[in-house]
Structure 1
Amino acid sequence: MRTEPTLAIVIPCFNEEETLPLMLPRFLAKLNRLMHENHVAEDSFLMLVDDGSEDSTWDIICALARHNSRVRGIRQSRNRGHQNAVLAGLMEVKDRCDASISIDCDGQDDIDAMDEMISRYQEGFDVVYGVRGSRKTDTWLKRTTAQAFYRLLGWLGAEVVYNHADYRLLSAPVMKELSGFHEVNIYLRGMVPLVGFKSCEVVYERSKRIAGRSRYPLVKMMGLALDGVTSLSIKPIRLVMALGIVISIASFLGIVWAVANALLGWAVSGWASTISVICLLGGVQLICLGVIGEYVGKTYLEAKARPRYIISERTSFEGDGGTRPARVAPTDAGESVRGDA
């Protein structure tokens, strides 16, 4: 049985000036209650990650951090996306806590599920996945496409947790091992299961967004889905090869049939069939090239090994007052601070 952990609640934020004033008191109240009931240690804290917001999100974070020592924040130099923001927060806290819980700041994830997550951690689980009990708050389109995506990933051989987003508890050893994954194309929902360790699930009900609008429109969701497929499985490449073999066999049979008809004098001139075959093969070839090109492009980005995130500012961890800019350089464990600018 583990003792009360030092907990870091990692909260990615992007243009959340409407949501933060409503949600931050809730997060602090939850953290205080967990400490009061001896579920977590007294040095537990919130880690807010500003993903290059264009509104007053960072100002709100800084103001709260100046008045509350349990609030810390980092700011990315530009918007890098939700997955990079979560990873930046995890890498920032991995040496400062025993466990972390990542959760969005829109109020949709049930913060009371943290109690069971921590209980599971104390029982010996290193990874606790928050899993939606239902998707009744989603639109029909989002619910249908999301469920189809999870099934597609499973069919492609990727190890993912059904109906799990990015609400999860990770122990410090898991975060340290995760820092050894050097992918530039990040899909944490697929990367965390690859780390291993003892895991379990906690089911909760997802609510509607508390304020503002979603920062994940359909285009971003499709991009995340594409990253998930191409970063976790090479089966699409194999399917392309299989499709090519099938079409080649069919084309060969078609040639035999055409030659036989010509030799028997049954051939008739006609451009419709010829054009149809050309269009079919041309379309299939373009699709195949697109799939292959997606993987080549991902390989190109990975070969560059650019930083997955760059932290431009951070609030103090040691109460030294205010915020300070920082330069970040890639290391073998991701990105780390090199010192004050």
Structure 2
Amino acid sequence: MDKPILDIVIPCYNEETVLPMTAPLFLKKIEELIQEGKISLDSRIVFVNDGSKDKTWEIIQDLSKKDIHFQGVCLSRNRGHQNALLAGMMEAKDKCDITISIDCDGQDDIDAMDKMVDEYLAGAEIVYGVRSRRDTDSFFKRFTAESFYKVMHWMGAETVYNHADYRLVSAKVLKEFSNFKEVNIYLRGMFPLVGFKSTCVYYERKERIAGESHYPLRKMLALAFDGITSLSIKPIRIITGVGIGISFLSFLLIVYALISYFMGSVVPGWSSSLIASCFIGGIQLISLGVIGEYVGKIYLETKQRPRYIISERTDDEECKGD
């Protein structure tokens, strides 16, 4: 069996502080795996510049000139972490046998790649990197993250608990995954839909090496909501159930009002009427908001706009130099 070609796909957004520190670590890992005879000499590290506003792309260009293992693609504008990751994997799928996606900040344990490659050589097509614990997270982040995975499971979405976007995926899986054309993507929940043999590798996450996280609470909530609306229609079914329940309670109140009227014991109830009106109005607005979110996603899907546009590749510059 030929040694597999590995592409490590790394999305980058304003990482000029941390990239010079983590790039040598990724290169060292590639060289170790090559020396151990697990992967091919043609393996690469593919950086995806997600429309950074700092010197991230210049650093990637400089790295590609210094070592043949470094490659880079630049998106025409910022498209978000998930689209940048997808762009890197789609670029790699025809040039390698396996990809490992990992963030640039050095928090994910790079040494877990050894176990991932071993699992691939043993027959797995997808290997999920799963956090064994969340000691480095604040209580709030740990609580919200774990709650999110539980909610996703309750919603019927197939996700891997405590898995983010650190995973090994074979080219065979990526070629099938390329048939998924939706714009509203949530990769953590979409790869289980593809199928194929999969397994998990557990690791401990570290503190960020340098710089600040580019995933504040606002972006985390947006990603969570994208994941729910991308993978489940249960919120709409919940709205239907709530509507049926409220309708039943309203019917009981009507019966009670009629009985009270005919018995002559009607008492003006301004407070109860106001509370009921506000409650029903609030439920209606929330329901319209959730339904509107799904309608908006359908609207975006029908436009069939590209999920990302690649403006430059370091390979293009090398061709110009030749």
| Superposition TM-score, scaled by structure 2 size | 0.98
Give the secondary structure class of the aligned counterpart of 2:167.
strand
Separation in 2, partners of 1:125, 1:12: 24
Task: Look up the match of 1:160.
Answer: 159
Q: Distance in 2 between matches of 1:69 and 1:168?
A: 24
> Post-superposition shift, 1:320?
2.1
Letter in 1 for 2:315: S
> Given residue 244 of structure 2, which amino acid in structure 1 is its aligned partner?
I
In structure 2, C-alpha distance between the alignment counterparts of 1:296 and 1:65, rounded to whole Å: 43
For residues 12 and 200 of structure 2, what CA distance do their matches in structure 1 show?
A: 25
Q: Which amino acid aligns with 1:68?
A: D
**In 1, Cα distance between equivalents of 2:229 and 2:321:** 41
Distance 2:217 2:79 in 1: 17
Counting matched residue pairs gives 322
Q: Which moved more, 1:65-74 or 1:120-129?
A: 65-74
Shift of 1:136: 0.5
Sequence identity (%): 59
Q: Deviations over 1:113-133 (max 9, x none)?
A: 000000000001000000000
Q: Which residue of 1 aligns with 2:272?
A: 273
- Any idea what SS the aligned residue of 2:319 has? coil
* Structure with the larger helix share: 2
Question: 1:285-340 deviations in whole A, cap 9, x for unaligned?
Answer: 111111111111111111111100011111117942569xxxxxxxxxxxxxxxxx
How many Å separate the matches in 2 of 1:317 and 1:311? Answer: 12
> 2-side partners of 1:41 and 1:28: how far apart?
14
2:81 aligned with 1:102:
no
1:270 Cα offset (Å): 2.5
1:12 and 1:104 in contact (8 A); partners too: yes
Q: Corresponding residue for 1:339?
A: none
What displacement does 1:269 show? 1.2
CA deviation string 1:173-214 (max 9, x = no partner): 101111100010110000100000000000000001000000
Preserved contact between residue 6 and residue 41 of structure 1 (Cα < 8 Å): yes
Letter of the aligned partner of 1:96 in structure 2? K
Query: Following the alignment from structure 1 to structure 2, what is the Cα–Cα distance between the partners of residues 318 and 99?
Result: 25
SS at 2:17's partner residue? Answer: coil
- How far residue 37 of structure 1 moved from its aligned partner, in angstroms, is 1.1
Superposed, 1:112-191 pairs within 5 Å as: 112-191=111-190
Question: What TM-score results when the alignment is normalised by the length of structure 1?
Answer: 0.93
Letter in 1 for 2:226: D
Q: CA deviation at 1:230?
A: 0.4
Match of 1:333 in 2: none
Q: Which residue of 2 aligns with 1:198?
A: 197
SS of the residue corresponding to residue 95 of structure 1 reads: coil
Instruction: Quote the residue 1:214 is aligned against.
Output: 213
Structure with the larger strand share: 1
1:36 CA displacement: 1.1
Contact 1:69-1:319 within 8 A present in 2 as well: no
> SS of the counterpart of 1:24?
helix
Secondary structure of 1:320's aligned partner: helix
Residue 3 of structure 1 and its aligned partner are, at CA, apart by: 4.2
Gaps of 5+ in 2: none
Asked whether the equivalents of residues 66 and 322 of structure 1 are also in contact (C-alpha less than 8 Å), the reply is: no
Bigger drift between 159-168 and 28-37 goes to 28-37
